[in-house]
Chain A
Amino acid sequence: MPVFVVFPSTHEAMSLDRLLTQAGIDHELVPVPREISASCGFAVRLRPEHEAAARALVDSGGVRTEGFHRLGPDA
């Protein structure tokens, strides 16, 4: 089940996008799933095995998120 990271603003999404790219962690910028939030803009979609690494980057990089969400079904 993929993990979606959502953000208060596009800037935060871009921050994590950049950090993940620099760390060589596979990810995608996708529209925020309606089930998670009504915000427009981006979520970062990750494979579940990358969640811990992404959380570490969020902490070390001071990225503000509105949480990590698991949402199925396609992996």
Chain B
Amino acid sequence: MKDRLVYMDNAATSWPKPEAVEEAMIRAMREAGGNPGRSGHRLSAAAARVVFDAREAVARLISAPDSRQVVFTVNATTALNLAIAGVLEPGAHAVTTSMEHNSVARPLRYLESQGVGLTVVETGPDGRVDAGAVARAIRPETRLVAMTHASNVIGTVQPVEEVARLCRQRGVLLLVDAAQTAGCYPIDVGAWGVDLLAFTGHKSLLGPSGTGGLYVREGVAIRPLARGGTGSRSELDVQPDFLPDQLESGTPNVVGLAGLAAGVGVVLEEGVEAIRRREDELAGRLREGLRAIPGVAVYGPPEGVEAVGVVSFNLEGVEPSDLGYILDVEYGILCRVGLDCAPWAHRTIGTYPRGTVRLSLGFNNTAADVDHVLGAVTEMAAEARREGKP
């Protein structure tokens, strides 16, 4: 049992990556080693093609009408900061939810200290935000609604399409944090009318760390965080005003983007809908199995509320950190414990400051993995009862 490794920390980053991703990265390193935006030689062209292919692949995945509107960053956090700082100015107002990751919460709180108004819409313990409540929080000076597409703590999927519609009616921009959905839950920015969508490359898109980006709807103006280092308009002292160059300063992560394009390729080949169905089934099996174990509390949405494959639980009388350690050392189960960078969400579900054990499913997990976890937690629960905990 100890030799077996069950990776269930895919909400932090996915592992293992498909072989196609490794191969694409090695190929890019060897055969596309030029600077994609600066020089005009063959290795430079090869690198530019790598970046172009990655942009096209992501645009296809999220149904962006035009791949120019996809800009690459090093992760979702940078994309979220770019979007938030790029549209909010002192005097403006923003709306967000109590389920946010601190990659949204912190930049918003910082801007609040600089004179931006902020309303945090609370959700119930199921984590699902009421679109009407978001709309009611909109004021005349509201410029941005920023919300996660799915919770990184309990998986709850938010009614993004409905919020997008309400935002459009009110002339407010909507920023969606798709870190937990891109690659494992369908996204259609064009049809939904989402203005800004941040994604990360290293989770369900199966790419390497150091990749991510922001979709910007055509016509939405964003102030860049960085300026310079675009091959384009070398003669000028001002940043180009067209995408992607305006928001992509400096040499990009070509090798990483080669991996990202390959990862997205694997996702598109399998189909997001198929991946979604598989992970949903496994998550159902996991939630149900955990709920049946005496002493286990499972957090998150009840049946009927949509969620991605992120499952949080606690075992009575055992600290999450101890549980995580034993799962790793005794059972080869790798997961995350604590607050998951999302203290707001843990307050919302009533697990602050202790946190939870978070199991997050991914592309490679199987029903046997889920059963292995359930067996391990069952044993640990029995052990805790024998020791008379609590």
Contact = CB atoms under 8 A, between A and B. Distances in A.
Contacts of B41: 31
Contacts of A30: 40
Nearest to B230: A9
12 contacts: A11-B68, A13-B48, A15-B52, A17-B45, A18-B49, A18-B52, A31-B40, A39-B231, A39-B233, A40-B232, A41-B37, A41-B232
Interface in B18-54: 36-41, 44-45, 48-49, 51-52
A10 B40 contact: no
Nearest to A32: B40
B113 interface: no
A40 B230 CA distance: 9
Ranked 7 nearest A-B pairs via Cβ: A31-B40, A14-B52, A38-B235, A40-B231, A41-B231, A29-B45, A9-B232
Could you tell me the dominant secondary structure of chain B's interface residues?
loop
Interface string A1-37: 0000000111101110110000000000111100000
B365 to A, nearest CB: 36
A10 B240 contact: no
User: What band does the interface of chain B fall in when counting residues whose beta carbon is under 8 Å from A?
Assistant: 20 to 34
Interface of A: 8-11, 13-15, 17-18, 29-32, 38-43, 62, 64
- Greatest chain B CB density within 10 A among A11, A13, A17 is at A11
Interface of B: 36-41, 44-45, 48-49, 51-52, 55, 66-68, 230-235, 240, 242, 244-245
A41 B39 CA distance: 5
B52 A41 contact: no
Contacts of B48: 10, 13-14, 29, 42
Contact of A8 (B36, B66, B240): B240
- Greatest chain B CB density within 10 A among A15, A17, A39 is at A39
A40 B45 contact: no
Contact of A41 (B38, B49, B66): B38
